[in-house]
Amino acid sequence: MIWVFLGLAILTELAATLSLRASDGLKRKPWLIIIVPGYVSAFGFLSLALSEGLSLGIGYGIWVACGVALTAVFARIVFGEPLTLPIALGILLIAVGVLIVQTGTDATV
């Protein structure tokens, strides 16, 4: 269930963030119907994943990395925002950083 909860945390945070962009700086109030519950449920699902035994460093790292990467990709698709080589390299560096943190938690001290 850890990965289901983490996946739901990522997806609800992504929906809330894309809705935040669609709201045009909260000028379009109907988007609040998705924004507020989206962020609240994202934190709720992340806390459930943590309560199931997912370590904070790994859970938060994956949540943030996936959130950044998916938001950049979907912002390109939905809003036509740029997805340049430097942005793609930044996303890659975030992913590598999460992998390094994961490797560090597996190492015995």
Q: What is the pLDDT along the chain (109 residues), one digit of tens a residue?
A: 999 999 999 999 999 999 999 998 888 889 999 999 999 999 999 999 999 999 998 899 899 999 999 999 999 999 999 999 999 999 999 888 888 887 777 655 4
Structural contact between residues 74 and 18, judged by C-beta atoms closer than 8 angstroms: yes
Handedness of CA 26, 38, 62, 48 (dihedral sign): positive
pTM above 0.75, yes or no: yes
Handedness of CA 61, 66, 25, 16 (dihedral sign): negative
Structural contact between residues 38 and 15, judged by C-beta atoms closer than 8 angstroms: yes
